[in-house]
Structure 1
Amino acid sequence: MMANSRPEPTTPSQFVHRRAGHVMVAYQGRLYVWGGYMELPHFESYTLSTPSKSMYHKSDEIWVYDPLLDTWTSKSGNGFVPQQLSGSCAAVHGDHMYLFGGWTSIQSDLMENNLNYLWRLHLPTLTWELLKPEGTQPYPCDKAACWVHKNRFYVFGGFGPSTSLLQMKNPDFNFVPDNIYHSGWIDQLVYYDIESNRWVWPSTWGPKPSPRAAHAADVTGDKVYIFGGRFQDVRMNDLHCLDLTNWTWSGNLTDGSLQEAPEGRSWHTFNFVSKNKAVIYGGFNTTQEVLKDVWLLDVSLGKWEQVNVDRTGKVLWHTSAATAPGEVVYYGGIRNNLLDVSKPKDHAEDMVVLRFSPPTLQRLVIETCCRYSKVLHRHWHRIPRTLQQILEVRLNNSINSS
């Protein structure tokens, strides 16, 4: 007997909002969402030999969200479009989004499921390009962390196949195999030099973080901070900092701390909301519980603080991006145990916005006018025409969705 947890998706909004393993970046005040997959209704009684039903999102489709208009728009990518992927990582430099690695559902004798390709998407024209840098490529993997600093696109860690070790030339990383799958965790640190079109493996000093996957990283100034991730059977809560000017690792900044700190997790997000403060949200802990907690880290003081936010829910493998100073937008992911094959997966379909500083006056005006549109609508003609157009679009959207 088939038990459907919800109807099969039939509308564009259902397709875009049921998404995990995707990437999302901010560019010129808008959010760009690409890739990932969607869980579908399936049998509730499962065995390991009957995989869950899922489908990959179209790789030539890019969804753009405008926070001022509160609208989603489907755009078509062109050029050398990547395969359908999940677990890739992406970051923006200038007018381009760089996309690395991931897991593809395509299997062949010539290609493993994990990739080490590097794509570049020109965001103004949505044109894809497959780059072919010189130098030793990174290890094929998914669930790596990436960031941009100056004219370099960095990749750290990941989970990938052991057979690729035979193809690597003088790899400068540690590989720890998994006991179940023919893959393992890695601690690779490599960057793509945008100006010279070359992969570079920098030498570092200090205690390097252990191999890991599904961790999170973000840059502030000339330093990158890396938090958590899974290594073997443990989901960690260690915090590491790499100085990108002298290539020195800090060691575990959580080690030996007497203060309260987030529990270990993977599939979480980590974003700087100011020069010295970063926020962590959600994830998956070692006992396979989905988390909903929000933590604020002050790197100048080395202090964690848990933040009470009512509108956050349990979520893992979601994405995050900052569209305005002090504001982080969270999107997509799964709300229940992704590893439990006996139960249907519940997608997180709502967008969550957390603010750690006051919004702009423009945002305040727009949100207030929308909230009290029934009372204020007759006065909209008094505000600038550009704001009137934004308010009309948002009002029409709310009417159509009700």
Structure 2
Amino acid sequence: MDLSQTRQAPVEYQYVHRRAGHVMVAYQKRLYVWGGYMELPHSQAYTFMTSSKSSYHSAIDVWVFDPLLNMWTRKMSRGDIPQQLSGSCAAVHDDHMYMFGGWANIASDNMENNLNFLWRLQLPTLTWTLLAPNGTPPFPCDKAACWVHNNRFFVFGGFGPARSSSQMEDVGVNFVRDDVYYSGWIDQLVYYDIENNEWVWPRTKGVKPSPRAAHAADVCGDKVYIFGGRFKNARMNELHCLNLRNWTWSGNLMDDTLQDIPVGRSWHTFKFVSENKAVLYGGFNSTEQVLNDIWVLDVRSKKWCKTLNCRASSRLWHTAAVAHPGEITFYGGIQNNLLDNTRPKDHAEEMLVLRFSPPCLKRLTIEAICEAGEMLRSQWKVLPQILQHILAVRLSPDNFS
């Protein structure tokens, strides 16, 4: 394994990397980032009309990272552009990103901060569509987990406003209200049938996970694995699996008798990097510590392995995606206690790349030439034009990734 990180951006571009609560997906070997918010420097925290210490990112902007060029590009989206949001969840199906829910920066008279809208972003044209599916929609929430399987976009869990017990019973959902706030945790499992444009609430068997939020989930074959999340005052280290063919829950797969397992957490990432291996990184534990540990789960043996040779920064509420086989990228997040309102928050501004297998020869060659810098520029003329262009972009001072 090899853990690398991009160089830090010049000051004028650093706001791009000050981002948490955003979404990031991989599409055609590029990474697409949208939304989220930015914690303001302490000196700027009270310079606006309100006493807010954060600023939401533009809803029009979609930032695209090309690993081959090692460059970010800001693009303008169009169509039914969503509100400024944090805590939404998103996944890719064919040429579209589907995005659900989130916390709206500004609530209106007839709309709460938590949303249950479903948007579709056509990635080639960056055109948004606000969908209006048939059926009973999910309950409004943020910090849910989502995934795509068999032409279906799934949503599980989340944190949102209370609803009547009759509404919950109709779709077989449990809701546990927070002791302080009107909102609470939910265990909703619902999918959007992409072909038939409708919400469906499947009936499942087995031991369903408890309500939770700020958990993470990813698909491996016909199964989805869900790790961690917060429920009441606990940040859990439970690992659950749902068979998406027979709708059977596994129950908690974690063996508490083993000492070498991840601690409970929320606001982490959990992503498959190969057919059988998932990577867990970072998050926020029950003692309000920001974590920097990296674990690899082999789903065949259900065994965890902590990576000891990778030095990663502490971060929470970041994102992870796999744009190239055997390579997982982590982006954004906060480096210190998000719940401590007495101290300014530090963003994790460097992108981390964890490689489990060597990249292709083309990428290795490009990276080797870039390390040599200007020493080999006189010899570029023997290379194909496309490679000359890639090298010129990579070594340009305007490349701020």
* TM-score grouping bracket, smaller chain normalisation: over 0.9
TM alignment of 1:342-353, pairs within 5 A:
342-353=342-353
How many Å apart are 1:401 and its aligned residue? 5.5
Task: For residues 26-61 of structure 1, give each alpha carbon's deviation from its aligned partner in whole angstroms, at most 9, with x where no partner exists.
Answer: 110111100000111237999xxx965111101011
Question: Structure 1 residue 397: deviation in Å?
Answer: 3.5
Identity, % of aligned pairs? Answer: 66
CA distance in 2, matches of 1:12, 1:358: 33
Q: Secondary structure at the match of 1:364?
A: helix
Secondary structure at the aligned position of 1:31 is classed as strand
| Whole-Å separation in 1 of the counterparts to 2:64 and 2:158 | 27
Q: How does 1:356-367 map to 2 (within 5 A)?
A: 356-367=356-367
Q: Equivalents in 1 of 2:80, 2:45: separation in Å?
A: 41
What residue is the counterpart of 1:35 in the other structure? 35
Q: Say yes or no: does 1:395 pair with 2:391.
A: no
Flag the 1:166–1:126 CA change in 2: closer, same or farther, 3 A. Answer: farther
Aligned equivalent of 2:280: 280
Q: What whole-Å deviation, never above 9, does each CA across 1:122-164 have from its counterpart, x for those lacking one? A: 0000000000000000010000000000200000000001157
Q: 1:401 to 1:77 in 2, by over 3 A?
A: closer
CA–CA distance in structure 2, aligned partners of residues 148 and 283 of structure 1: 23
Spell out, residue by residue over 1:93-118, the C-alpha distance to the aligned partner (whole angstroms, 9 max, x if none).
00000000000122223101100000
**SS, match of residue 117 in structure 1:** strand
C-alpha distance in 2 between matches for 1:112 and 1:228:
27
Q: What code does the residue aligned with 2:106 have?
A: I
CA contact (8 A) 2:13 2:400 kept: no
TM-score normalised by length of structure 1: 0.93
Relative to structure 1, the CA distance from residue 12 to residue 130 in structure 2 (aligned partners, 3 Å threshold; closer, same or farther) is farther
Quote the offset at 1:260 in angstroms. 1.4
What letter matches 1:30 in structure 2?
Answer: R
TM-superposed deviation, 1:15? 2.2
Q: 1:39 to 1:165 in 2, by over 3 A?
A: farther
My pick for the range that moved more, 282-291 or 14-23, is 14-23
Give the match for residue 150 of structure 1: 150
Q: How does 1:365-384 map to 2 (within 5 A)?
A: 365-384=365-384
8 Å Cα contact 2:270-2:279 kept in structure 1: yes
SS in 2 for 1:372: helix
Distance 1:361 1:330 in 2: 23
Between the aligned partners of 1:219 and 1:363, the Cα distance in structure 2 is 28
Tell me what 2:228 maps to: 228
Q: Counterpart in 1 of 2:113?
A: 113
Larger RCO (CA under 8 A, 6+ residues apart): 2
How far, CA to CA, are the matches of 1:167 and 1:209 in structure 2?
20
Once the two structures are superposed, the pairs formed by residues 5-154 of structure 1 within 5 Å of their partners are: 13-42=13-42, 52-154=52-154
**What amino acid does structure 1 have at the position aligned with 2:213?**
A
- Write the letter of the residue equivalent to 1:29: K
Contact 2:329–2:352 (8 Å) recurs in 1: yes
Alignment TM-score, normalising by the size of structure 2: 0.93
Deviation at 1:257, TM superposition (A): 4.2
2:185 is matched with 185
Quote the offset at 1:363 in angstroms.
1.0
Question: Who is 1:198 aligned against?
Answer: 198
Instruction: Find the residue that maps to 2:287 and give its secondary structure.
Output: coil
Equivalent residue, structure 1, for 2:5: none
Deviation at 1:168, TM superposition (A): 6.2
Task: Give the corresponding residue for 1:4.
Answer: none
Provide the rounded CA distance (Å) in 2 between the counterparts of 1:370 and 1:41: 33
8 Å CA contact 2:155–2:191 kept in 1: the answer is yes
Provide structure 2 residue ranges, at least 5 long, that are not aligned to the other structure: 1-8
CA shift at 1:311, angstroms? 3.9
Q: What letter is aligned with 2:73?
A: T
Q: Describe the SS at the equivalent of 1:369.
A: helix
Alignment RMSD, CA only? Answer: 2.2
Q: CA deviation at 1:165?
A: 6.3
1:174, distance to aligned residue in structure 2 (A): 0.5
Residues paired across the two proteins, number: 390
SS of match in other structure, 2:381: helix
Amino acid at match of 2:194: I
Q: In the TM superposition, what is the alpha-carbon distance from 1:169 to its structure 2 partner? A: 7.7
In structure 2, the CA distance between the partners of 1:67 and 1:181, relative to structure 1 (3 Å rule), is same
Q: Is the 8 A contact 1:142 1:160 kept in 2?
A: yes
Aligned to 1:303: 303
Letter in 2 for 1:38: M
Of 198-207 and 156-165, the range deviating more from structure 2: 156-165
Q: 2:174–2:188: 8 Å Cα contact kept in structure 1?
A: yes
Aligned residue identity for 1:202: P
1:217 corresponds in structure 2 to 217
